[in-house]
Amino acid sequence: MSSHAVGVDVIETDRVARVLSKHPERFLSRVFTPAEVAFCRGRVPELAARFAAKEAMMKALGTGARSVAWRDIEVLPDRRGKPMVYLYGGAKRRATTIGLDAIDVSLTHLQGISMAVVVATQERPEMDRDEARARLIGVLQSRGLLGDDEQNPDLE
């Protein structure tokens, strides 16, 4: 049965401005594809919103930033200006593994903050929900952070 994947991220635009002015070449070439750099033309709100979109996409992929390269996620507008997400390399492989499809992104920027939300359909959830919860409960109990009788609110 297919389900949904969602990811959200918000970033302080000033933070991106600072990194951009300190290490412009390194930041742009490490994080953005040549087409993104060409489209954004150094405009900080656009770069910041795309940075947020990449993080939101990483969350929808369920990986965080560790196993996916920034440039494997590209966000470019269609001819009406609506942003579209394109995946490459590790991000594409990961999306295929978990059956991510119909990926959509929305961006917004106010003065000071930029934000993005990604949604997609997901064909193959990586982990069973109940197993994931039971695993965490086991870890919390083994660390003495949760009592044996406190694991299920339905039982109270």
Ligand X SMILES: CC(C)(COP(=O)(O)OP(=O)(O)OC[C@H]1O[C@@H](n2cnc3c(N)ncnc32)[C@H](O)[C@@H]1OP(=O)(O)O)[C@@H](O)C(=O)NCCC(=O)NCCS
Q: Which is nearer to ligand X, 9 or 74 (CB)?
A: 9
SS3 125: coil
| DSSP per-residue letters across 4-56 | EEEEEEEEEHHHHHHHHHHSHHHHHHHHS-HHHHHHHTT-HHHHHHHHHHHHH
Q: How many residues bind ligand X (CB under 6 A)?
A: 11
The distance in angstroms from the start CA to the end CA of the chain is 31
Q: CB of 78: closest distance to ligand X in angstroms? A: 25
User: Which of 28, 33, 45, 59 contacts ligand X by CB under 6 A?
Assistant: 59
The answer to whether the beta carbons of residues 97 and 124 sit under 8 Å apart is yes
Report the catalytic residues: 59, 109
Residue at shortest CB range from ligand X? 64
Pick between residue 17 and residue 76 the one whose CB is nearest to ligand X.
17
The continuous run of DSSP H or E covering 85 comes out as strand 83-87
Residue 60-99 contact track with ligand X, rule CB under 6 A, x = bound: --xxxx----------------------------------
Residues in the site for ligand X, rule: CB under 6 A? 9, 15-16, 19, 55, 58-59, 62-65
